[in-house]
Structure 1
Amino acid sequence: MMIIDPISLLKFEHSILRVRFQMIKECLNIELGWKMLENTHYFIVNWHAKIEDKYVFPVLEKMGINVKPLSNDHLLIEKYGNSVLKERRKDWAERYIRIVIDHNLNEEKIFPKEIERDILKDIITDMRNFSGYFEFTGLSEYDLYYSD
């Protein structure tokens, strides 16, 4: 997989989240499932949503795309996910998973094919500083293409 711009990176991360969520749903009856959900929620809140809000949504806004509902979703996902992890209710966890997947699908409907590749350079810098990014996604730095 070659990541060449921010949109291809976000779509790749969405696919990683779908796969992880499928595994999580099958494991919610044991501690492993809840640990996986906790790790995934951490990734979504502390990496994925932040990168969208910081780098991608401002560009989409300049293109005339209303991203406010999607940005608001990030707050909902964070708060609801925190409650799910605190209460450990399987039905809430399944709803959380559906919310995140639907949110990601809605994002992909409005994403342009690609956006300014220069942004990827800044994202890669942040990525290197986000502990556990490469382990979570399975990407390596060789999968990231950026040329000056």
Structure 2
Amino acid sequence: MNWIVYILITLGTFCFMEFVAWATHKYVMHKWLWFLHEDHHVKSPGFFEKNDAFFLIFAIPSWLCIMLGSMNEKYWVVSIGAGIALYGLAYFIVHDIIIHQRFKLFTRSNNRFVKAVRWAHKMHHKHLGKEDGESFGMLIVARKYWQKVKNDEQRVRAFKSSSR
């Protein structure tokens, strides 16, 4: 197979993982694995959360695809594992660093995507229980949160122009 096909498989897997993560978050984490996810909504002391176990849960299929695909020269399987791993990296950067500030980087971003994803996640966390949740994805942000960011920017511009 051509290396371009492997790149496309990796990118396709990365994109597909947003839907896997959404479904897992809504139908697994907020249902029968709530006991692992709950401490993410109701903060407890300490740096680590039981919710961090999901890192391993998602890392295992990635590792298996990369390892077994490499051992059997099935590089399309390696590409699937790489796509899962890249999504995991994106999740770590967006969710743990940008949104929850577990590491103090990107604390004052004016990027519209960052603002919209923070709004969406804030609305997700306003629900402390496992029911009545919203905004279960990470990279695909609903239009209403983009609109909130746009409205906020318009209010700031109006305030700045009226105070001159």
| TM norm. shorter chain > 0.5 | no
Task: Tell me which structure has the larger Cα radius of gyration.
Answer: 2
State the TM-score, normalizing by the size of structure 2. Answer: 0.30
Higher relative contact order (CA 8 A, sep 6+): 1
State the TM-score, normalizing by the size of structure 1. Answer: 0.32
More helix by share: 1
